[in-house]
Amino acid sequence: MAIFKGAGVAIVTPMHEDGTVNYEAFARLLEFQIANGTDAVIVCGTTGESSTLTHEEHLDVIRYCVEAVKGRIPVIAGTGSNCTDTAVYLSAEAEKYGVDGLLLVSPYYNKATQNGLYVHYRTVAESVKLPIILYNVPSRTGCNILPDTVMRLCRDCENIVGVKEASGNISQIARLAAMAGGTIDIYSGNDDQIVPILALGGKGVISVLSNVAPRQTHEICETFFRGDVEESCRMQLEAMEMCDALFCEVNPIPVKKALNLMGMEAGVTRLPLTEMEEADSARLRKAMENYGLL
């Protein structure tokens, strides 16, 4: 059974002007998500700026999220690292806090071989009992988890149950879906590919868009699952300008800006991410107005 089905928000980590975590704003963001139908929270992923959180902050944010959500929807913790020992440590600690699953990004910078990816993921999987979703995002990590490797991992590790696919390569995702035959939970990692991946048998999306439009993103999935593919497709296309604007600079710069424009106090990004350029801010504001967010 899937950890979740539908739209899971890859939630931002709100910060004060001095760069410390703003837990009061985080609580408000979580309530906003739950009130608007989000199907799961993915905490401390890329959008949550996990790469610039200390290990202590990383774990504190996960623990706070579990306590604030109180079991109302699943909480999935991003605990991946380019260091296998670190991924094991973060995963084991997150398990103690009561998360419902883990999201493990492929090791970045190291550029592991397919066998290296297999051994890395298997080592982490054997250290916990939680269900695990692999996260394939070659544009950030420099390596691609090929379908054969995903299949091998899901076959050999019973708690590796799915993959967040952000390669953008629909042919590769279709190949994986064909090989898996419904035995692997596939989630879109790109908001502009929700419906195409659902059409391949996907379980939903791990979404940046959901930060600002949780109800709309949930409805794209829910409408598809109800069988109204045409309407779901219409909603997907309607969101395209907004999706593009959210990635006109590197994530999560635009989505934090968007939340701030909505009065949601996402705050600053940590260096090396900087304030959004003026022209991109104007583009984002226009997209938000057109999508009914402002």
Q: What are the extents of the domains in the chain?
A: 6-228
Q: Are 17 and 52 in contact (CB under 8 A)?
A: no
Architecture of domain 6-228: Alpha-Beta Barrel (3.20)
Check: pTM over 0.95? Answer yes or no.
yes
Integer Cα distance of 124 and 114 in angstroms: 16
Q: Specify which residues 163 forms β-bridges with.
A: 134, 186
CA nearest to 103, candidates 181, 33, 47, 56: 47
With a pLDDT cut of 90, the percent of the chain lying above it is 99
Length of the chain (residues): 294
SS3 helix, strand, coil % of the chain, rounded to 5? 50, 15, 35
Structure confidence at residue 16 as a pLDDT band (50, 70, 90):
very high
Structure confidence at residue 281 as a pLDDT band (50, 70, 90):
very high
Q: Indicate if the pLDDT at residue 117 is higher than 90.
A: yes
Catalytic residues: 135, 164
Mean pLDDT (whole number) for 188-216: 98
Mean pLDDT (whole number) for 4-11: 98
CA nearest to 118, candidates 138, 77, 146: 146
The encoded tokens of residue 178 equal 């064909």
| Strand (E) or helix (H) holding 165 | strand 160-165
